[in-house]
Amino acid sequence: MKNLVLYGFLLFFPLILPGLILAQHADSVSGKTEIIQDARVDMLVSKHIQINQTLKTMDGFRIQLFSDSGNNSKTKAQAAHDEFMARYPSMGVYLTFKSPNYKVRIGDFRTKLDAQRFLNEIASDYSNAFIITDQINLPKIY
């Protein structure tokens, strides 16, 4: 019985295959494609584009140089910020406060590899620095 089904398939499949190929070929020859979709899809795409145009940050990496809480932590953080700015004036330096810590973070690295390369450069001067994930500024498009 199984052999009969197999032989029947092998006999009729070659007869059906050319018809399937010609049907597909006829659509591609005309060069026209019709897309039928719900109007709400266009609305969602427009909304997504609008939201993305307002974003000023993206997921990325920074290097944390300093974190402290307690007495004089703001003064120490400002000193760490200013010292780094004096050494690397072209690098973005960010002093933030999230209770109870003041933090100094540097860079807007899109990849962890970029952050690691820069960390290797400054490791001798900033031995306690480490890479963290953060919201970074979007890269400038020239």
User: In this structure, what are the phi and psi dihedrals at residue 85, rounded to the nearest 5 degrees?
Assistant: -60, -35
- Are 26 and 63 within one domain? no
**Closest by Cα among 60, 134, 141 to 103:** 134
Q: Is residue 83 part of a domain?
A: yes
**CB contact at 8 A, 31 and 109:** no
DSSP tag of 140: P
Query: Do 91 and 133 sit in the same domain of this protein?
Result: yes
Phi, psi of 121 (to 5 degrees): -65, -35
Confidence at residue 81, expressed as pLDDT on a 0 to 100 scale: 96
The secondary element (H helix, E strand) that includes residue 37 is: none
User: What pLDDT, on a 0 to 100 scale, did the predictor assign at position 9?
Assistant: 56
Count CB-CB contacts under 10 A for residue 88: 16
Residue 47 lies in a domain: no
Identify whether residues 62 and 28 lie together within a single domain.
Answer: no
Instruction: Quote the number of domains for the chain.
Output: 2
The verdict on residue 46 lying in a domain is no
Query: Does residue 50 sit within a domain?
Result: no
pTM for the whole structure: 0.64
Same domain, 131 and 82: yes
Give yes or no for a contact between 62 and 106, defined as CB atoms under 8 angstroms apart: yes
Kindly state whether residue 69 falls inside one of the protein's structural domains. yes
Show the domain range for 122.
58-137
- Do the beta carbons of residue 102 and residue 95 sit within 8 Å? yes
Q: Cis before residue 100, ω within 30 degrees of 0?
A: yes
Domain co-membership, 130 together with 82? yes
Q: Are 126 and 69 in a shared domain?
A: yes
- Does any domain span residue 142? no
The DSSP string of 43-66 is HHHHHHHHHHHH--EEEEEEEEEE
pLDDT tens, residue order, the chain (142 aa): 555 555 555 555 566 656 555 555 545 566 788 888 888 988 999 998 888 888 888 999 999 999 999 899 999 999 999 999 999 999 999 999 999 999 999 999 999 999 999 999 999 999 999 999 999 998 777 7
